[in-house]
Amino acid sequence: MNESSNGKGFSVSLFVNNKPGVLVRIAQTFARRGYNIDSLVVSNAHDARFSRITVVFQGDHENVDQILRQLNKLIDVVHAIQHGSETSVDREMALFKVGVKPEKRTEVFQIIDVFRAKTVDITDESIIIETTGSSSKIDALERMLSSVGLLEMVRSGKLMMARGLEPT
């Protein structure tokens, strides 16, 4: 996550009851503190009664601790944990649509190869590329493709899992 003028990027993993309204209460916790959510991923956990939520936002250490305390007080939050890169594995997925005619594709294919991405769709005038990796890898691929005709991009947001036997 890139540094911003507001502070450092933080990732918070939540394990919550899978009930209506939980996500709204979590988002309100960030809004009340004046923080914008940079990335939000929600999915069922291995037990369908629960969901996993990953939130990425910019902030400072004091407010992160306060937000974690507030999140952990919410009734449907089983636990909220802040993870750093040394304590977790994180990945993001992205799709890129590049406008490129057949005679100009060699450069795009070279970029795809260097980033270990793959082509998932190709037409006479466009290529859709899929990649997974760190946020910085996806940022770098976006910069490279911008110079050769990037038309659209869709990113999944950060997925994370704690290393070892620690809970996510």
For every one of its 168 residues, what pLDDT tens digit does the chain have, with 9 covering 90 and above?
Answer: 333 334 568 899 999 999 999 999 999 999 998 888 999 999 999 999 999 999 999 887 778 889 999 999 999 999 999 987 788 898 999 999 999 999 889 999 999 999 999 999 999 999 999 999 998 999 999 999 999 999 999 999 899 898 988 888
Model confidence, pTM: 0.81
For residue 137, the surrounding DSSP H or E stretch is helix 135-146
CATH assignment, 91-160: 3.30.70.1150
Strand ranges (E), 26-157: 37-44, 50-59, 77-83, 88-99, 118-122, 126-133, 150-155
Name which of 52, 8, 57, 11 is nearest 37 in CA terms.
57
Boundaries of CATH 3.30.70.260 in the chain?
A: 8-83
Boundaries of CATH 3.30.70.1150 in the chain?
A: 91-160
Say if CB 160 and CB 54 are below 8 A apart: yes
pLDDT tens string 36-48: 899 999 999 999 9
The alpha-carbon radius of gyration of the chain (Å, integer) is: 19
Domain covering 8-83 assigned CATH 3.40.50.1100 in the classification: no
- From CA 48, how far away is CA 46, in angstroms rounded? 6
